[in-house]
A and B are shown apart, each in its own frame.
Chain A
Amino acid sequence: MTTDSAGPETSASRGVDKAAIVIAGLLAAVALVLVYDANQIPATTMYGMGPQVMPVVIAIGLGILALANLIDAVRGHLPARESADPVAVLLILAGLALLIAIIGFGGGFILATTALFVTTSAAFGRRAFVTDLIIGAVLTTVIYLAFDRLLTLSLPAGPLERLL
């Protein structure tokens, strides 16, 4: 509901939804992990309720929901999905991975966010890499200067930031 729901409702006729079955399976798996983890917690509480009770309660809830999702999946009670563009998604994820790597290796804010800017705009279909690179670099440099220098926010500094 935070986004527009995916397309027109043509679900009833589509039969079993494999992806939804995977979701139900994942929920059940999470429930099992919760129970397993709760069993690892030593029971130490003298009064009231221990730390292992709530995980079990939530696990039971997840188990029921896994079942409900499974029923929905088998009945095909799910809204139809439109085809997605995997390249765009992978491009943005690559951008995020680059950002994390650059920050992790001390490459600094400007390099990291410029990389994210360029990959994201490419994901949205832009092919003018050089233009976007320049726009991204200028934008992030201005952001860096405004927030780090003027507003004294602490943003990670790399080789580029030290030049400024």
Chain B
Amino acid sequence: MAARTGGRRRTASLLSEGKIKKREPLARPWRGPLKSFCARLIGASVAVTFVVTFLAGAPASAQQLELKVMAPAAPGGGWDQTARAMQQAFVASGVARSVQVTNVAGAGGTVGIAQFVNGAKGDGNQLMVNGFVMVGALAMNKSPVTLEQVTPIARLTEEIQVIVVPAASPIKTAQDLAAALKADIAKVTFAGGSAGGVDHVMAALFAGTVGADAKKVNYIPFSGGGESLAAILGGKVTAGISGLSEYDGQIKSGKLRAIGVSSENRIPGVDIPTFKEQGIDLVLANWRSVVAAPGITPEQKKTLSEAVEKMVKSDSWKDILKQKGWDDAYLPGDAFAEFLKKENVRVTDVLRSVGLVKS
């Protein structure tokens, strides 16, 4: 399952890079030859949900919600998939009557959030998907609009990061890599995704945590998972950083050696030690979350938070998570607002330390 999503994520990154539009069948359920099929499918699921909610005695008022969810990225990427998964779960669980997904692509969400903050102000029916990458993108692009302006609702999912080395590398553990960094940081090259993205932040954090100068990390961004993987397999770089599922196949086949994952605890079913148990205090995940428009009333915020909570607890959301291989990282309300603030500070600090953000 994990390998499956790996491919998807990689696809997504290439897609957004090639600015290719990938159509999900759910994008417009009422059009084209899929129309009758989808109508039947949704009709059936609505009927089922109706019976379920009736039996559970749930109030019918939530049925009235008509939501708009913005994915601040091109169709096909991670944020788009999250938005469409929410659409599916919202409707299937009967939390909302209809959900419309819009895509506003550009510059790691910078274009999308600007439109969201200006266009959706005070609208209690609009949501926007965002995530780790947007924090860095906003800082780097000197966006006039920031995440402080939106109303945080909840963190939804996360993906754990991994550091790999070529199978023939003398580096066997995270401590070996730390030693190499401390010996000569310039000679340790990291391959990963776009500059300022989660892979880059992780390289800088790793160096900083083990006591090397994070400013001097030699991080080499590649476009798309394919190119960086080739550079690692070909031994052109010392190590590679990516989401765990992306390199899963290569790790299992023995072409790459995983020297550590960035989770708090061991991931069940994954035979890779965490950095923490190797004595390196580095915990990081590529999270995705959902936020609401600025200037909404507390009642509107409450309605949306409850709707998201119901959606997250629904079976169809759990099914989607399993199917896509996403880890549930649900964190609602003030705890999420707090988390968002902390991540903002942490990421901006790291990016400033590597010189990507000017203070």
Contacts and interface: CB of A to CB of B under 8 A. Distances in A.
The reply to whether A and B meet directly (CB within 8 Å) is yes
B45 to A, nearest CB: 21
Interface string A124-160: 0000000000000000000000001111101000000
Contacts, number: 31
Nearest to B75: A154
Contact of A47 (B21, B23, B27, B218): B218
A44 interface: yes
B358 interface: yes
Given A42-B355, A42-B358, A47-B186, A152 B33 contact: yes
B218 A46 contact: yes
B33 A150 contact: yes
B23 A154 contact: yes
A44 B27 contact: no
Contact of B31 (A42, A44, A45, A148): A148
B216 A154 contact: no
Contacts of B31: 148-149, 152
A150 B32 contact: yes
A51 to B, nearest CB: 10
A110 to B, nearest CB: 16
Interface residues of B, number: 17
B28 interface: yes
Interface string A33-53: 000000000101111000000
A152 B32 contact: yes
A117 to B, nearest CB: 24
A44 B196 CA distance: 13
A148 to B, nearest CB: 7
A152 B27 CA distance: 10
A42 B359 CA distance: 12
A149 B32 contact: yes
Interface in B202-235: 215-218
Interface in B143-160: none
Contacts of A152: 23, 28, 31-34
Contacts of A154: 21, 23, 27-28
A45 B355 CA distance: 8
Contact of A46 (B23, B32, B34, B215): B215
B356 interface: yes
Contacts of B23: 152, 154
A146 to B, nearest CB: 11
A152 B35 CA distance: 10
A61 to B, nearest CB: 25
Contacts of B32: 148-152
A99 B157 CA distance: 41
A150 B46 CA distance: 27
A44 B216 CA distance: 11
Contacts of B355: 42, 44-46
Contacts of B356: 44
Contacts of B27: 154
Most A-side CB within 10 Å, residue of B27, B32, B218:
B32
Interface string B30-50: 011110000000000000000
A163 to B, nearest CB: 15
Q: 5 closest Cβ contacts across the A-B interface?
A: A44-B355, A152-B32, A47-B218, A42-B358, A46-B216
11 contacts: A45-B355, A46-B217, A47-B186, A47-B218, A148-B32, A150-B32, A152-B23, A152-B31, A152-B33, A152-B34, A154-B27
Interface of B: 21, 23, 27-28, 31-34, 186, 215-218, 354-356, 358
Given A47-B186, A152-B34, 14 more contacts: A44-B355, A44-B356, A46-B186, A46-B216, A46-B217, A46-B355, A47-B218, A148-B32, A149-B31, A150-B33, A151-B32, A152-B28, A154-B21, A154-B27
